[in-house]
Structure 1
Amino acid sequence: MEDRGISSRGIEVNTLAILDASGFKKGSQDLIDDRIAFLEAVRCASIVPENGIAPTNKMCEAIFQILKDEDSMELIMASYELLTDIDKCFPRVYTSNMETSPSNFAEVVVVEEAWLPFIFGSESEKEDFNKNSGGTLESSGFHLLIQDLAKVAVETKIEKLETKSLRTMVLLQYVISVLEGDFVPRNSVFKENMNWNLVKESLLNMLLGSRRISYKGLIKDCLSTMCEMSHVHTDSQDMRVPEKSAAKRLKHSNASVSISYFEVKKFMRTALQKFLLMVMELDISKKKADTLGLTTRADGVRTPVVEIIQDELTYNRDSLSPFFQVFDEPKWKLEIIVQYFRKYIAKPSVRTRRSTELVEDATFDGVLKCFSNSNSVKSIIKKISTEATQTLLAHAFQAFLSLSSQHSAEGIHQSTENVRDSSLAEICKNVISAFTNLRRVDEHTEILPFAKEALFAAATILSTKS
């Protein structure tokens, strides 16, 4: 270990020496060449060898600083790719092998001394740390990235595109991947051993609990940015994440920069969705911990992100279609839509303890059954409009089909498969019935193109099962 440490410090001295920018102007080709040489030196020492040496914190800090501050697309992409590869080769948080664990459960291993692009803690700690380092982000810095991204999202003219905008998207994409790499293994093990401290100490939980950001403001900015980005959703479906040769492809090529813009913009939407999904999973884990009495007052109280999304979609109905166009995780998509409908479905005004009538389950099937009643349909469309109702029903059916397909692919026992097939057929009948009743109640309504696709899919499935 000592020899490895000495070797690592030697590499640190040699590679950081390359970054001496004395005599060079920012943006000069000589400075760019030196920084590219530094990134290549780190890659050759840490990533290329089978048993490479993990870069030191100062080296990672320098790489991150390049990603944060550089105007060269070549350097932005090269530093992003290197940081991503370092995280894969030298993860900060990972799960141990269950077979070697004395508790017979997988355990979380945290490399405490590993570098992080975030700094959390007391004000004095942050002040002391930031005096010595510019290669980190505070919680407020993360929120600022989201806000900057919102400005990028509304820009549609390539000729007005700035490198700074691309850098913001790539930087935020990397930071969210760091949050994911820290949270996912912690949350996975929490589900097994119910050790709340694992999730409580996650970067995601500390970020959302920071007093330096507005939690609801952060979530709202994520939603608005995703909706603004929806207009390029179909234009870039065949795009792929920039490969490792991206830096070479981008160099001195305006056309390549334009292509990269649409590539990164698409995957930026994916990153924002990933962030929201992590917060949803965190909410579930915290609710479970609350139920088991594992939390304390210090854990605070936070509005579940699903409720914030529902409120935003309620007050800004124009966001319904754009949001569900880009938010495509079927489980949560269906959950959000079902809960949204249930806010507007009339509840029985009087109930007694002797009543044997069951409250309709909070399921898609339960929502569809409400559309079999003309009075219920009138009540719903009066509150949320026929167009919004069509959009929600069509997207909910799409999510249901995706979940149904996933269950089939995972392999289900024959008896369960028959029940599932019967349920799918019933859902299809109810979807067709719901749209039929919509037309019956509102004769002047036009069926939206996406709703027509849902009806066609439902009819096709029914024809194959008849």
Structure 2
Amino acid sequence: MAILDTAGYIKVTEDVNDDRLAFLEAVRSASIVPENGSAPTNTMFEAIFQILKDEDSLELIMASYQLLIKLDKRFPRVYLSSKGKSELESPSTAPVEVVVVQEAWSPFSDACSGREEADKNSGRSLDPVGFHLLIQDLAKVADEAKSEASESKLLRNMLLLQYLVRVLEGDFIPRNSAFKSIISFCNFLCLQIALLAPVENTNWPLLRESLLNMLLGSRKIIYKGIIKDCLSVTCEMSQFHTESGDDMRGPEKASCILNGYGSAIAIALPEVEKCTCTAIQNLLLMIMDLDASKKIADLQGLTSRADSVRTLTAEIILDELTYNIDLLSPFFQVFGEPKWKLEIILQYFRKYIAKDKDTERRSDKMPSFCTRRSSGSADDTTFHGILKSFSDSSSTKSIIKKISGEVAQILLAHAFQAYLSLLSRHSVEGVCGSGEGVQDSSLVEVCKNMIAAFTCLKRTDVHTEILPLGKEALFTAATILATKS
């Protein structure tokens, strides 16, 4: 009973902690250690989650977090069938099958159902408001440089967020893979989804019922607020590591950290912060993938009034980066997914680069990044167009008047990184390999245009200093040209 003692009847903290550690070990021994171990009951899951959510003991926080991660791997709530996993490799086969364990416990199960009982279960699970407040708390702590934050609470909240994002991933990714498999199957057969099967037999309802979609669709939260707070957490924590990464090994810095947090947390905190940034990035990527799948469902007429209308995540991020320049560099340093990274940068440039109507109409009809079914030329053509906008002094001067030469350098350098990453990915996967956009001649042209763009920036404003990031991009472009010549 000490495990579930939320009323505080048991006053000896050490005894309570010992009992709870013994409980966690008993669950691990019964469910994880044996090859045929059985899944814990929902009440046991709730008790483990409550320990992670409410405890201050570092030992209990780490033990409960690790146990929950292992249990989720051993007993997934949503997964692709063994047949479905093999069929993902071939679009010519039937769409993959998803298995949903309806009776499985989830920290979002009551919170995302929209039922009134969710408030009564707030001690055991998180509703959408609680999830948003958790992100907000991390944003405030990062902004305050952790000067007044409790070290154990900070660590606990970061691990709690990492676990919740893992739960959302484990629920969303199999559902989204199944939805994409139908699209690939229809493309292979050159058929429309509406002709292939009735709407009710498609996998969009399965994706609509994902925890992520229900969480974001809740009327209790402000969707744009979650995205903005995610950006704040990501950028603030990345700045902390950038500013203090080398100094943290010095004796004065180490002494300050140890006095503030204690040796164990001081050692763990930097890595946990790094993993939290990764978790936030994964959350943003999931939301953008959900936006993309929903757009496909809209085009196929699969959505209904029950599907909430939301501003695209990429647009919200773009607006934040446009009106808060301080977020620009730290965000792109952390955000590593090349497809969306390049897309956001290209949209940023499109706001400030004048186009004639014919060019604008052509660009609206083609995607700005290479997909698995495209040749890659649309991506390259658009990126080439951006680079060529810096080929003469008049257009370059017009651009840097609006976004400054420093911002232009940051965007060009990160866009070049993303372009090279996409090129490498497609080459490894064998996708788009024969397309015009990924041929050596295209890469050579991009490298030449990169060097020309930075040269024109420097010529247009002689006082402009090339940033270290820009120098790295120029060195990479020059090295590629040397190897291709």
TM-score with structure 1 length normalisation? Answer: 0.86
Partner of 2:111: 120
Deviation at 1:403, TM superposition (A): 1.7
Cα distance in 2 for residues equivalent to 1:219 and 1:341:
21
Q: Aligned runs of 1:307-326 on 2, under 5 Å? A: 307-326=315-334
Write out the 4+ residue segments of structure 1 that deviate beyond 6 Å after TM superposition.
Answer: 99-103
Cα distance in 1 for residues equivalent to 2:221 and 2:241:
29
**1:400 aligned to 398, 419, 423, which one?**
419
Does the Cα contact within 8 Å between 1:429 and 1:458 map onto a contact in 2? yes
Amino acid in the other structure paired with 1:147? Q
Deviation at 1:414, TM superposition (A): 7.5
Distance 1:133 1:314, change over 3 A: closer
**1:144 aligned to 120, 126, 133, which one?**
133
Q: Aligned runs of 1:83-162 on 2, under 5 Å? A: 83-98=68-83, 104-118=94-108, 119-120=110-111, 125-126=115-116, 128-131=117-120, 134-156=123-145, 161-162=150-151
Cα distance in 2 for residues equivalent to 1:392 and 1:84:
37
**1:268 aligned to 273, 276, 287, which one?**
276
Q: Aligned runs of 1:10-409 on 2, under 5 Å? A: 24-25=10-11, 28-98=13-83, 104-118=94-108, 119-120=110-111, 125-126=115-116, 128-131=117-120, 134-156=123-145, 161-193=150-182, 194-234=202-242, 254-348=262-356, 362=368, 363-409=382-428
SS of the residue 1:297 aligns to: coil
Q: Deviations over 1:320-353 (max 9, x none)?
A: 11111111111111111011111111022x65xx
Q: Deviations over 1:280-331 (max 9, x none)?
A: 0000000000000000122121100000000111111111111111111111
Q: Deviations over 1:422-458 (max 9, x none)?
A: 2211111111011011111111111111111111111
Distance 1:17 1:459, change over 3 A: same
Amino acid in the other structure paired with 2:70? D
SS of the residue 2:168 aligns to: helix
> For this pair of structures, how many residues does the alignment match?
431
Deviates more, 1:98-107 or 1:176-185: 98-107
Does the Cα contact within 8 Å between 1:19 and 1:34 map onto a contact in 2? no
Deviation at 1:157, TM superposition (A): 5.7
Segments of 5+ residues of structure 1 without an aligned counterpart are 1-15, 238-249
Cα distance in 1 for residues equivalent to 2:454 and 2:395:
13
Distance 1:419 1:67, change over 3 A: closer
Distance 1:122 1:285, change over 3 A: closer
Deviates more, 1:358-367 or 1:383-392: 358-367
Deviation at 1:356, TM superposition (A): 12
Q: Deviations over 1:75-98 (max 9, x none)?
A: 001001101111000000001133
Distance 1:340 1:31, change over 3 A: same
Does the Cα contact within 8 Å between 2:3 and 2:47 map onto a contact in 1? no
Partner of 2:379: none
Q: Deviations over 1:353-385 (max 9, x none)?
A: xx9995596422221121113222111111111
Deviates more, 1:320-329 or 1:176-185: 320-329
Cα distance in 1 for residues equivalent to 2:430 and 2:458:
38
SS of the residue 1:303 aligns to: coil
Does the Cα contact within 8 Å between 1:67 and 1:167 map onto a contact in 2? yes
Deviation at 1:155, TM superposition (A): 4.2
Distance 1:426 1:132, change over 3 A: closer
Cα distance in 1 for residues equivalent to 2:432 and 2:272:
41
Q: Deviations over 1:391-431 (max 9, x none)?
A: 10011111112222222333469855995222211111111
Partner of 2:188: none
Q: Deviations over 1:189-244 (max 9, x none)?
A: 0112352101100000000000000000111111111111112445669xxxxxxx
Q: Deviations over 1:254-298 (max 9, x none)?
A: 222112111110000000000000000000000000000000122
Cα distance in 2 for residues equivalent to 1:356 and 1:174:
44
Amino acid in the other structure paired with 1:408? S
Deviation at 1:168, TM superposition (A): 0.7
Cα distance in 1 for residues equivalent to 2:302 and 2:3:
50
Amino acid in the other structure paired with 1:173? Q
Does the Cα contact within 8 Å between 1:232 and 1:266 map onto a contact in 2? no
Cα distance in 1 for residues equivalent to 2:338 and 2:166:
21
User: Share of identical aligned residues, percent?
Assistant: 65
Deviation at 1:129, TM superposition (A): 4.8
Partner of 2:483: 464
Q: Deviations over 1:50-69 (max 9, x none)?
A: 01010000000000000010
Does the Cα contact within 8 Å between 1:432 and 1:458 map onto a contact in 2? yes
Distance 1:101 1:400, change over 3 A: closer
Cα distance in 2 for residues equivalent to 1:178 and 1:52:
21
Distance 1:357 1:116, change over 3 A: closer
Q: Deviations over 1:84-115 (max 9, x none)?
A: 11100000000113379999332111111100
TM-score with structure 2 length normalisation? Answer: 0.83
Distance 1:451 1:44, change over 3 A: same
SS of the residue 2:306 aligns to: helix
Cα distance in 1 for residues equivalent to 2:404 and 2:318:
16
Deviates more, 1:277-286 or 1:216-225: 216-225
Distance 1:59 1:414, change over 3 A: closer
